[in-house]
Structure 1
Amino acid sequence: MPIVQLDEYLIDQIAAGEVVERPASVVKELLENALDAGARRIQIATAGGGKTLIRVTDDGKGVPRDELRLAVKRHCTSKLSGGLDKIASLGFRGEALPSIGSVARLSIMSRAEGAADAFEIMVEAGRCEGPRPAGLTRGTVVEVRDLFQQVPARLKFLKSDRAESAAITEIVRRLAIAFPGVRFEVSGPDRSRLLLEAVPADAPLKRIADVVGEEFAENAVEIEAEREAVFLSGFAGLPTFDRGNSLAQYVYVNGRPVRDKMLISALSGAYSDMMAKGRYPVAVLFVEIDPALVDVNVHPAKADVRFRDPQLVRGLVVGAIREAMAKAGVRGSTAAAHGLMARFSGAGPRGDAGSTSRFDGFAPGAPDIAMTPRADFGRSAFARHPAPERPRAPFDAARAAYRPLEERFDEGASPLGANRGFMESAQAPFDPGPSGAPSSGPSPGSGRDTASAHPLGSAKAHLFENFILAETEDGLVLVDGHAAHERLVYERLKAALYGRPIASQMLLIPDVVDLPEDDADRICEEAETLATLGLRLERFGPGAVAVRETPAILGQCEIGRLVRDLADELAEFGTGESVRSRIDHVAATIACHGSVRTGRRLRPDEMNALLREMEATPGSGTCNHGRPTFIELKRADIEALFGRR
């Protein structure tokens, strides 16, 4: 078959296969054009999940009459005046509009800034008609109808209208975070209305809360860092404020929303030993970098980027998030407190109704048992069982089981001393230790002022031989003793391991691992870094490396598998974390087995010492497995349970 040149219509349809994947792709391209035009108000209307209708209206600068036909021709753009090294706009390829016009019916109505009239063009099956006069006060209206009607193979692979509408909403939300000063409105018969009002430039968290959720603002720390002219800002959620998927991770490079594998990997690495496996952090990060140091022309969808120095950016993301978490101190997620409140109030998950009973006397609408008249005892089934005679003795306040909290008898009247409250008789007296001991913490009877000196308060009780109940200035804290001590031991082990070069174990016979030539080159380039972790290797001819020493803490390990995992990580992410992650896993296992176990009764000074060390240890809000180590209940929440507010 001879070589022929494809016609423009077929070329546009081929390009549309990469640019226009689904209705959400169309909305993304049209929104980027509107934002590049300086729009401050954007309205999106859809029908049939975007397959029947997509209409985007903006108040931007508009398109002049003599440029309307150029706008729907391939590789025609006004955004590359500085070349590919200085891209300052969201769009730049000049492929979106002609690609959309080749697979749908496209109309563009626009009134350029300062023009007296508006004009409209129509594109169908690659043919352009117009421009002709139209009625429009300002801005641009782009309407796309019957998407993929001429490409039925693509149409049948689309999802339901509801799913496509949700994808469009997600596109709008992601762009709205990067442009908080723009008002976005999404409506249509196939969806519920979404309105995101413009917010001031000095309140970026307001727009983020509108998109991610109000709880995020309460469970996030601010990120701000700089390294070698690369700026990172945004907000990162606490490790205990996680999600079951990565949809709540919003990453932007120079204002462009991206789904870059390296950046997502860096975000996961920052939470590597603070979050449970299978859970994902919530974060909104903005990377600002010189356009010459990043390539956004990787894919027509413009969702991937390539950095000139990916390790610099990765290190900045990981380091900034970890430093921000350390500076934030010990903080618990409000989600855990809300879950506990729900269980207390009866709204949380519970077991099978047939196997457990619940007291509903205080539930809304339930009968007030205290006000219900009692039946005559003579008619009761228990009337034939008379109560046994009990020996009567004079009341002794010092020995009474139900004595008042503020006992008003002399200390000598009780062998345990005065003011014992609800303390068990077998429990040792609460002794916080010497007043000068830093680990003792405030004593339980020293008052609210002393308790407020520490974020986790002072220990009041040890429940179920594991949980520490502490009182703070404005609430209560319930600490999982084993999980908290596990994190503390783990951090001490890591500090001891990484504070100096990790001890290595020399192999009697070097282990030679065969690898593809490229993988062997990547590993040997990182040989110096790997040596600090106890893994010493060198090149052993073409396509092989010889491992001479391995980290001693790993013991007997599968060297070949370890080296191949390293090679895969270096090829995909440009960094090798397999050795460090395995060392951390061993340290986490030692910490888990070496921490205080459930069932050991802690003394008051031990509990307070644990609380003080938690406050001084970064990441102590979760254990090594990602479970929360404590839950905080505010006084207002407790009062609400009893109807006091």
Structure 2
Amino acid sequence: MNAPTPNISRRPIRQLDAAAANRIAAGEVVERPASAVKELVENAIDAGARRVDVAYADGGKRLIRVEDDGHGIPADELPLALQRHATSKIDGSDLVNILTFGFRGEALPSLGAVGRLTVTSRARGASEAVCLGVRGGNAEPPRPAALARGTVVELEGLFTATPARLKFLRSDRAEAQAIGETLRRLAMAAPGVAFTLTDRSDPDSPREILRLDAESGDLFDALGNRLRALLGPDFLANALRIDAEREGVALTGYAALPTYSRGSAVTQHLFVNGRPVRDKLLLGALRAAYADLLSRDRHPAAALFVDLDPEQVDVNVHPAKAEVRFRDPGLVRGLVVGGLRQALAGAGHRASSTVGGAMLGTFRPETFRPDTAPDARPAPFPAPRGVWPTRPVTGFAEPLGTDGWSARVEPASPEPDPEAEELPLGVARAHVHETYIVAQTRDGMVIVDAHAAHERLTYEKLKAARAANGVAGQMLLIPEIVELDAGSRARLIEAQAELDRLGLAFEPFGGSALCVRETPAILGEVDCRRLLPDLADALDADEGRGLEARIDAVLSRMACHGSVRSGRALRAEEMNALLRAMEATPLSGQCNHGRPTYVELKLHDIERLFGRR
């Protein structure tokens, strides 16, 4: 039912007064306390500050204070700085070539319209500082003040002039967290600037939340040190340097390995010409670069900087300046996807170091308390099913029985090959539970999930074959008939041409059945009754994505079916061949779903676990 049209009498059109217009416009710029902090810190960085101190009280609702040591504002220009659309950053003749954070001239008057604003500044070379206050949108007369250098901006009672906006703010803790996140993103953009963040909710005991010293060195050293301080040492230890350029567009920064993924996108930081943005095109490109390396519920971690001619990007899309529009979006997206994929491929078999640390964290040392009898010893462990016994180990006073072993152990040669142990993944020593390969390296050990590793190797071979001349098919001696539901059969027939180029040839066989005549040769012997429904599910799950993404999903499912299965015994030469193939294959440190394919444990960590260090 349509709502009745209210009976409103016509009112005359009239001009809003300046105070009302300023409060309305301020709502576009200042959404919450973090927005005010963003505008003020950006002004400080534009002023050439080398140090910025931020303080807040009650999540920024009661007080926001930003102090910097920049060039300051001359006394005769300070009243004009509090007027709308007054700025020193552009002259109005060119709205494209913008090289500063701010340019609209709206931050200070907007803050003065929604709270009690006080600006104290001393320009370089000036004999004294000047203070100017704004109350209810009305500026007070300037007065002398004490300040060594730079500018101090204090905003008290945010949104007291617009109480309705104040009701929509979140809790003090949530607003404080937003302020911290805003300052961290700006600190990434300016590693050469020192920052502090202080909570002054309790005037008697202010609490320092964040302290960042100014970083020096080249681009990557300064940025790396700043990211280590903000994102933690684990991020930098598991991140790759990104340095790519195409047609005047540069991409730099750090991107984490796929095995260092996160459950949300909070560790994705993107910048355009040094400006923090939340751009859909860049976020989509980042996701596409990790498309076949992560499952859909995992998100990559990265801090990426796109630098290009200011005339090639429009930053004047929204008052908050968090969105941008590129003149050539295809070029930028291609650079991000290509640059990231090249760096990830260059990482080879490398996997996240945090995987091994997490594994060590799950270990607990066992304590055995013998009985009072001096000759008491623990009962032997029961042997699991499906275990190959090994020859008794000599060199002990009493030979050990085979009941205590839980896996088939490859007998090591009397003189291990020192060159083999120098290889990144070492030399295979055991096959545990017919699933995991235990290899010995020079300074530790590696545990490999054989199925996950072989799945990645097969997947990369399938992709390489498709990119070359297509995947070779293997004719079945006896065609196999596979019964499917109507939906699965329809999806496979729709993609029949592409699947044929992938080495899978089939034809309708009446009803809901398909007759499979060829399978991809690289997969060896496969179970078509399991393979076809799985491929149909992959096509269904990726229906909303592009053709290439759907085919990659199909190849991933094929690789899973063509990989060594858990429970199959591997010979020593097979295990070592798998290790060597992993070392030679890019991205082999994670399976097709983003899980790690191996865990590396250093000898000193193992010794510490047993109390030897």
Q: How high is the TM-score relative to the length of structure 1?
A: 0.76
Q: For residue 14 of structure 1, report the CA deviation from its aligned partner.
A: 1.4
Partner of 2:266: 247
Which has the larger displacement, 589-598 or 29-38? 589-598
1:23 to 33, 38, 42: 33
* Corresponding residue number in structure 1 for 2:79: 69
* Equivalent in the alignment of 1:591: 559
Residue 394 of structure 2: aligned partner: 403
Are 1:144 and 2:155 counterparts? yes
Q: Does 1:458 align with 2:427?
A: yes
Q: Is the 8 A contact 2:406 2:433 kept in 1?
A: no
The CA deviation at 1:613 is: 1.1
What does 1:504-583 correspond to in 2, within 5 Å?
565=544, 578-583=546-551
Partner of 2:457: 488
Deviation at 1:16, TM superposition (A): 1.4
For residue 374 of structure 1, what is the aligned residue in structure 2? 372
Q: Superposed, which structure 2 residues align to 1:223-234 within 5 Å?
A: 223-234=242-253
Give 3-state SS (helix, strand or coil) of 1:490's partner: helix
- Inter-CA distance 46–197: structure 2 relative to 1 (3 Å threshold): same
Deviation at residue 67 of structure 1 after TM alignment? 1.0
Task: Compute the RMSD of aligned alpha carbons.
Answer: 3.3
Counterparts of 2:324 and 2:453 in 1: how far apart (Å)? 40
Shift, 1:134, TM fit? 0.8
CA contact (8 A) 1:43 1:56 kept: yes
1:627 is the counterpart of 2:595: yes
For 1:200, the equivalent position in structure 2 comes to 216
Q: What is the aligned counterpart of 1:338 among 327, 351, 357?
A: 357
Partner of 1:38: 48
Report what 2:528 is aligned to. Answer: none
> What secondary structure does 1:75 align onto?
coil
Structure 1 residues 450 and 179: alpha-carbon distance in aligned structure 2, compared to 1, 3 A threshold:
same
1:166 aligned partner: 177
Quickly say closer, same or farther: Cα 1:455–1:376, change in 2 above 3 A.
closer
Match of 1:273 in 2: 292
Kindly report which structure 2 residues correspond to 1:301-316, keeping only aligned pairs within 5 A, or say none: 301-316=320-335
Cα distance in structure 1, aligned partners of 2:421 and 2:374: 53
In the alignment, the residues of structure 2 paired with residue 214 and residue 465 of structure 1 have an alpha-carbon distance, to the nearest angstrom, of 36
CA distance in structure 2 between the aligned counterparts of 1:292 and 1:445, rounded to whole angstroms: 69
Aligned to 1:185: 196
Q: CA deviation at 1:124?
A: 1.6
Alpha-carbon spacing, 1:150–1:36, altered in 2? closer, same or farther (3 Å)? same
Distance 1:643 1:561, change over 3 A: closer
Q: How does 1:57-96 map to 2 (within 5 A)?
A: 57-81=67-91, 83-96=94-107
- 8 Å contact from structure 2 (residues 62, 158) kept in 1: yes
Alpha-carbon spacing, 1:624–1:406, altered in 2? closer, same or farther (3 Å)? farther
Q: Which residue of 2 aligns with 1:292?
A: 311
Q: In the alignment, which of 346, 349, 355 is matched to residue 327 of structure 1?
A: 346
Q: Map Cα deviations across residues 75-114 of structure 1 (whole Å, 9 max, x no partner).
A: 1111114722211101111111111111111000000111
Find 2:12's aligned residue among 2, 27, 31.
Answer: 2
Q: Is the 8 A contact 2:410 2:431 kept in 1?
A: no
Q: CA deviation at 1:490?
A: 1.1
Aligned partner of 2:5 in structure 1 is: none
Contact 1:466 1:599 in 2 (8 A): yes
- What amino acid is aligned across from residue 52 of structure 1 in structure 2? R
Counterpart of 2:506 in structure 1 is none
Output one character per residue of 1:143-193: Cα deviation in whole Å (capped at 9) or x when no partner.
000001121211111111111111101111111111111110111234652
Question: Are 2:132 and 1:134 equivalent residues in the alignment?
Answer: no
AA matched with 1:483 = A
Equivalent position of 1:527 in the other structure? none
Structure 1 pair 445/68, CA: closer, same or farther in 2 (3 Å)? farther
* CA–CA separation in structure 1 for the residues paired with 2:413 and 2:242: 37
Between the aligned partners of 2:300 and 2:407, the Cα distance in structure 1 is 45
Distance 1:11 1:160 in 2: 28
CA distance in 1, matches of 2:612, 2:408: 32
**What is the distance in 2 between the residues matched to 1:614 and 1:406?**
41
Matched position secondary structure for 2:53: strand
**Amino acid in structure 2 at the alignment position of 1:35:** I
C-alpha contact (below 8 Å) 2:408/2:431 kept by paired residues: no
Change (3 A) 1:429 1:501: closer
Q: Is the Cα contact below 8 Å between 1:620 and 1:629 reproduced in 2?
A: yes
Distance between the aligned counterparts of 2:536 and 2:448, measured in 1? 36
Q: Which amino acid aligns with 2:296?
A: K
Rounded Cα–Cα distance in structure 1 between residues aligned with 2:233 and 2:571:
40
Are 1:467 and 2:424 an aligned pair?
A: no
Q: Is the 8 A contact 1:486 1:623 kept in 2?
A: yes
Q: Which amino acid aligns with 1:77?
A: T
Cα distance between partner residues in 2 of 1:197 and 1:103 = 33
Is the CA contact 1:405–1:421 (under 8 Å) kept in the aligned structure 2?
Answer: no
Confirm or deny: 8 A CA contact 1:466 1:480 kept in the other structure.
yes
For each residue in 1:536-559, what CA deviation from the matched residue of structure 2 results, as whole angstroms up to 9, or x when unmatched? xxxxxxxxxxxxxxxx9999989x
* Paired residues of 2:115 and 2:158 also in contact (CA < 8 A): yes
Which residue does the alignment assign to 1:605? 573
Partner of 2:448: 479
Distance 2:16 2:100 in 1: 31
Contact 1:254 1:288 in 2 (8 A): yes
- Per-residue deviation, 1:245: 1.1
Instruction: Indicate how the Cα distance of structure 1 residues 70 and 289 shifts in structure 2: closer, same or farther if over 3 A, else same.
Output: same
User: Contact (CA 8 Å) 2:458, 2:563: kept in 1 or not?
Assistant: yes
Q: What 5-or-longer segments of structure 1 have no aligned partner?
A: 347-358, 362-368, 381-398, 408-413, 415-419, 431-442, 504-529, 535-551, 566-576
Corresponding residue SS for 1:495? helix
| SS in structure 1 at match of 2:76 | helix
CA distance in 2, matches of 1:172, 1:460: 51
The SS at the match of 1:223 is strand
Contact 2:26 2:111 in 1 (8 A): yes
Aligned residue for 1:569?
none
For residues 117 and 225 of structure 1, do their structure 2 counterparts lie closer, same or farther at Cα, with a shift above 3 Å needed? same
Mapped to 2, the partners of 1:424 and 1:254 lie a distance apart of 60
**Cα distance in 2 between the residues matched to 1:297 and 1:127:** 28
What is the aligned partner in structure 1 of residue 134 from structure 2? Answer: 123
Query: What is the CA distance between 1:502 and its match in structure 2?
Result: 9.5
Query: What secondary structure, in the 3-state scheme, does the structure 1 residue paired with 2:96 have?
Result: helix
Of 312-321 and 7-16, the range deviating more from structure 2: 7-16
**Cα distance in 1 between the residues matched to 2:29 and 2:149:** 28
Aligned length: 526
Q: Conserved in 1, the CA contact under 8 Å of 2:194 and 2:214?
A: yes
**1:44 touches 1:186 (CA, 8 Å); kept in 2?**
yes
Q: Once the 2 structures are TM-superposed, how far is the Cα of residue 499 of structure 1 from its aligned partner? A: 2.7
For the 8 Å contact 1:266–1:314, the answer to whether it is kept is yes
Which residue among 116, 123, 142 is the counterpart of 1:105? Answer: 116
CA-to-partner distance for each residue in 1:387-446, whole Å, 9 max, x for gaps?
Answer: xxxxxxxxxxxx995631799xxxxxx9xxxxx99998996976xxxxxxxxxxxx8655
Q: 1:628 to 1:274 in 2, by over 3 A?
A: same
Q: Per the alignment, in what secondary structure is the counterpart of residue 64 of structure 2?
A: strand
Q: Which residue of 1 aligns with 2:526?
A: none
Q: Secondary structure at the match of 1:155?
A: helix
TM-score (normalised: structure 2): 0.80
Structure 1, residues 285-337: CA drift from partner, whole Å, max 9, x if none?
A: 11110000011111110111111111111111111111111212211212111
CA-CA distance at 1:486 after TM superposition: 0.8
